[in-house]
Structure 1
Amino acid sequence: MDLDKPPAAPAYSEGCLAVAIRVPVRIVVLVLVVPVRLVWDALTVAGRFLTDTVLRPLGRALLWLGRALFVWPWVALWRWVVVPAGQGLGFLGHVLLVVPARWLYARVLAPLGRGTAWLAGAVGAGLAWLGHHLVVVPARWVFGRVLAPAGRAVGLALYWTARVLFVLPALWLWARVLVPAGHGLSWLADVVVTGVGTALYWTGRLLLVLPARWLWRHVLAPVGRVLAVVAREVADALGHAWRIAGRVSLVVGRALGTLFRWIFVEPVRWVYRTVLTPVGHVVRDHVLRPAAEVARAVGQASRQALAAARDSVRQARMDLRRMLFGDSRQPVAVDRREPHERGTRTLGSSTTALTKD
């Protein structure tokens, strides 16, 4: 079973250069990053506090003010003025324009257009029949009897003339002169281009490729590997320093919070619990509650005095009116029930079960 297992991969070994530059780089980066992290965390806390206490309420107030000043008036204007006015104008336009135009189109323009179209069709059909018999038939006869035979004869003569004078000499010149000359020029160009290309290739290889390869292999590649190791170590040191600075910032923040609590919060809480609360209870029990009871009793007595004064004034006004104008006439009660004796029923009579004696 052990023989079937794949061989273990060799452990990654770091070079001496990475080990040599790691510790000083981390120390320097930590010294530089810790103040930056502390300032960053302080700014973050201040920004969150400012956002929660100032910016967000101010933004909500500005949003409500903007809606109250710009959105709601336009919405009300649109809903209660523009829309009803538009509906009224639309109804008025429909009554004054659409209905008369529809009637004019249906009663006048449509019959007139159908009559005009029928008349134009009849005139066009007559003109087409006349043109066919006066123009098309004679032209067709002239083309079929005269122009077509003459055109065929002329075309055949021109074809043979062009073939003898141009096509056959051009074919001979192409086959006997141009093709052999092109083959020779192509071979010469291949020889010249091949030789020049070989010379340029070796010249460029000796002057550019081999020095550039040597420079890359012996100078740039080692320097690049060193710079890559340095950059990797600096990046690792920055991450490590940032995490350590975060822990330091957390410890410093907790220490400042604890110090603020013991210097300010705890004394204020102690003063509130041991001084202000008992004093408040004493003031509430011995000052505020008796004052409230006295005020309540004074208010009740004042209300009763005012009610008695109002009754006295009302009674005096009634006595004065009775002395000046006498007693008012009392209304006479009218019996609207059914009479006991039989008689003719009137509009005031009733025979329901609820109004009978």
Structure 2
Amino acid sequence: MTKPLDIVVIGLSLSSSWGNGHATTFRALIRGLNQQGHRVLFLERDVPWYASQRDLPAPDFCQLEYYSALAELTGKFGGAIQSADAVIIGSYVPEGVAVIDAVAALSPRRLCFYDIDTPVTLAKLDRGEEEYLALEQIPVFDAYFSFSGGEVLTRLERDYHARQAVDLYCSVDAERYYNTGEPQEWDLGYLGTYSPDRQPTLERLLIEPARALPHLRFVVAGPQYPTTIEWPSNVELIDHLPPHDHPSFYSRQRFTLNVTRADMIAAGWSPSVRLFEAAACGTPIISDYWRGLDEVFPDGEAVCIARSGEDVVKALTQMDEQHRKAMSLAAKVRVMQSHTGAARAKQLVSALEGLPERLSQRAPALDTVSA
């Protein structure tokens, strides 16, 4: 490893995992960076819906600071942004387009974008929606780190003119996600915030099987589900589940279900952090299908792909215990080898070190970041 890097991350949220998948992704990655000696300053917009739901208000693996407006971001933290070895702006940052312009104007040494929502972002841009990233801003970044890999990277460079598109999948903190050894409580569970485009798949792959198998137990955990949904009596509902409860939740399931957003299915090569979390906990996964899934978890070996409710019923009623355990072990081995926060941090640092430093006047040494 070369010298430790000073990295500024401007992201949607690190402090709160409520209603978003960004916090857990950033936590695993930044913990990995911290373990390898790098220093991170995370800047988060102080918004009421996260302020009231913070499950990590004071991380011990980076410096977390809040800003209330764009002027405060560039004024109070402008020096840190200019002197950092790299500045990474995430997707869905409030006033993201203005934030990108303002940060770029400060001429950081390396300016990157981390899109934790790549298929959603590209679909928005194709519709002319520039909620947190403008089409013309993509070439501004020295590197475009993408939640999605495979063909998506080619599209980013060819069609959206990214200088360099690099896959940076989400990851799992291997020290915090493990099987707790608790007795199994549910035959099939699902963890995820309500999403209209995921709900039909959840209906097909969990609710319908629950109706067909009234003697089995099911669970859905996540916020924002409408009260109009008709849940079978054997489906337990749990509101928001903070990350520290995820290992226990996964460990009490005989199988867990992964459901993918429509834009991510269309793009392919977009593994959810829930896949990696469940695998790290040794819970066998039943997942909907998308291109590239086999490259992460081979079907039948490390995951059970379900295209219908009947496939789920078959897995729940016919898969023997030996196959179930072998599938969970194969998935866990793959995650521990390639998809931990430590592994992802090494990938990020390697990519950053390969980027040339911008020709700009350096600011004083970064002194606002503590290890």
Larger radius of gyration: 1
TM-score range for the pair, normalised by the shorter chain length: under 0.3
Higher strand share: 2
- State the TM-score, normalizing by the size of structure 1: 0.12
